[in-house]
Chain A
């Protein structure tokens, strides 16, 4: 079974530039998550989708971050404009369902460095 795919793996940009990350979840997984993981910390949920609808975006800095999952499969996360504090690993995860105990499967992440 193919895992969660993410691209790019690494990205270096200057502050105030824009950047986009792409995620392809495990086939058939309805729920997709984007996490931000700052060095030395645990992952923090940014946004959660159920199919193509947003379930939880309470921790997404909406003035600069946006995400979409138009067809309920792939998803993109965008930062515009980037700040120095956005340097982190951005993890995408998927799970089979919304309710109940569900294992989340994580992609390899995109390491973003903002200079």
Chain B
């Protein structure tokens, strides 16, 4: 079964709007990572948030983590057409070192 599940499955917005994607997971984690995948650049690491952090920023990305609810959210502000991609959350369960379990992903489409 999937460790992480993203919500929504698909999201379509206009350029300049903000996009929010959510991820829920099942077991205790050391950290949670977000990846982006598009046809041009493959799967790319975006940001990592540790289990003792609540919020992290990287450029136009903001990630939150609520370990009590076993959930995380990824906010992309001022979206651009180039942000069109699939976004995955991935978690290494606390007991398994670096092995990542990916969710099904959110397909984001940013319309010009």
**Interface residues, chain A, CB within 8 Å of chain B?**
31, 33, 40-45, 48, 55-56, 91, 93, 95, 97-109
Contacts and interface: CB of A to CB of B under 8 A. Distances in A.
Contact of B48 (A43, A48, A103, A105): A103
Contacts, number: 58
14 contacts: A31-B98, A40-B104, A42-B4, A55-B99, A91-B43, A99-B97, A100-B98, A101-B30, A101-B50, A103-B48, A104-B98, A106-B44, A107-B42, A109-B42
Interface string B25-38: 00000110100000
Contacts of B98: 31, 48, 95, 97-100, 102, 104
Interface string B2-45: 10100000000000000000000000001101000000001111
Chain B interface, >50% SS class: strand
B88 A105 contact: no
Interface of B: 2, 4, 30-31, 33, 42-45, 48, 50, 88, 90, 92, 96-105
Contacts of B50: 101
A101 B48 contact: yes
Contacts of A40: 104
Q: Identify which of B4, B44, B97 gathers the most chain A CB atoms within 10 Å of its CB.
A: B97
A40 B98 CA distance: 24
